[in-house]
Chain A
């Protein structure tokens, strides 16, 4: 089974801190994604990576950056955390082969609270 692992389920950080959210997948997937989930807003794409060192902005990239130095790991970085970044963060990965119906696999989410 594909496994997507996020480093923390719950995280509390202070305003202004630099925050790293880590995601690791074990199936050699090329594509990896970071989503933010908020009540009433669904999942919104922050950034995605289509290969090592390759990235593309999603719909809400402001205040975030990403890093993908190795294929299995995709990091989301909050350079200076703010209270409006309190949210649930979901990582996903997907194989590019197999056609467009290939599903994405998700981690269990990190609930980040910025105080």
Chain B
């Protein structure tokens, strides 16, 4: 069974600094997809970034980038120039197919990030 592990329950970072959130996963599949979602205090889950496993290039979205290490099954999120609005719970997710052909997410337990002024 696929699992997703986030080993850092809580982290904090000073405003304008860089922080890295870790995520490891376990799967026997070769083609899969990984995501980072953000859940601010408003509770609205928002997609931060996505990565296809067959792509060697790491995905980047403005201040957010990933370090995808397929052999190590590691998918960390780097936030550069941290802002107060980055304070949120961050979830790593793995997408898998089901018997019906529907794709569904498997989520990690989350990392609560607090950006300090």
Q: Which residues of A contact B103 (CB under 8 A)?
A: 31, 94, 100
Of B100, B105, B108, which contacts A56 at CB under 8 A?
Answer: B100
Q: Are B104 and A58 in contact (CB under 8 A)?
A: yes
**Cα-based distance from A90 to B98 in the complex (angstroms):** 20
- List which A12-31 residues lie within 8 A (CB) of chain B: 31
Number of interface residues of B (CB under 8 A): 28
Which one of B6, B42, B50, B102 lies within 8 Å of A48 (CB-CB)? B102
Q: B residues near A, CB below 8 A?
A: 4, 6, 9, 33, 35, 42-45, 47, 50, 52, 91, 95, 97-110
> Which residue in chain B gives the minimum CB-CB distance to A111?
B43
- Using a Cβ–Cβ cut-off of 8 Å, how many residues does chain A contribute to the interface with B? 26
Contact A106 B44, CB 8 Å, known A54-B100, A101-B52: yes
Find B33's partner among A41, A45, A90, A101 (CB 8 Å cutoff): A101
A109–B50 contact, CB under 8 A? no
Q: How far is the CA of A50 from the CA of B102 in the complex (A)?
A: 6
Binding site for B on A (CB under 8 A): 31, 33, 35, 40-45, 48, 50, 54, 56, 58, 88, 90, 92, 94, 96, 100-101, 103-104, 106, 108-109
